[in-house]
Homo-oligomer: A and B are copies of this chain.
């Protein structure tokens, strides 16, 4: 494949940053990949893994890059761009992979030099692992990548968005454009609330007096274990998500709690028909997720069948 970008720089060599590096090199979407991480041990590990050319200074990584991807927790985006900004080349595209978009735009826009283009983005892909060893080149295959372009009327900006779309498609992703505010509501439902609930039930289970932690672990195959996977995700990343998407998260959380209270009442009053109707309805969504290619059709995600 002809490279979409001659040189890209990725700031942050964790699960997502490391996966972009691998995918860009394997696909040939970038001719050269520069990497930087604030953590010296992560830089060392990224070098051992040959994730790209690892720099010990942000400016060296960023200097000649056509695309700079900020792959750090949402709360660290501003600091990353602040150190990178003076070294950005003319016409450089700055993008990110944050799970929240409005707060990122607000944080980054004021720091961007006039000769660069800001195109926020969010790959809807990941695992519960973190760090440079967690990444892999196929992470974005058949997953959606959402771009939330800002209000930038320059014709070069539109061309830059098209080029960034091309890059993500080269990494195997499907690309969608969306308004940043709408992104934050959609992701509050599909990602932030599910993670919050998983963190909550796992922490709650640890605190119970009537059931020991070892019993919870032992009998976790009855449903609980699924929640422990999501709750194993990076705590720094998730703290920043909740601090930076407060309004949308509190809104959907309010709806969730309201519906849960109604369900609680249906149980207390033995309303079997209401419970059945709700469970039956919830069942349909699974088929749609599988038909959309967003999950495996194998029972138990295929993990248990040594058949």
Contact = CB atoms under 8 A, between A and B. Distances in A.
B213 A186 contact: no
A257 interface: yes
Interface of A: 99, 124-129, 134, 136-139, 141, 143-144, 146, 176, 185-187, 189-208, 210-211, 213, 215-233, 235-236, 238-239, 242-243, 246, 249-250, 252-253, 255-257, 259-261, 263-264, 267-268, 270, 272, 275-276, 278-283, 285-289, 292, 294-296, 298-307
B255 A243 contact: no
Nearest to A300: B127
Contact of A185 (B211, B226, B242): B211
Number of copies: 2
A285 B231 contact: yes
A171 to B, nearest CB: 14
A292 B171 CA distance: 36
B204 A190 contact: no
A113 to B, nearest CB: 30
Given A137-B307, A281-B206, A301-B301, A221 B275 contact: no
A87 to B, nearest CB: 30
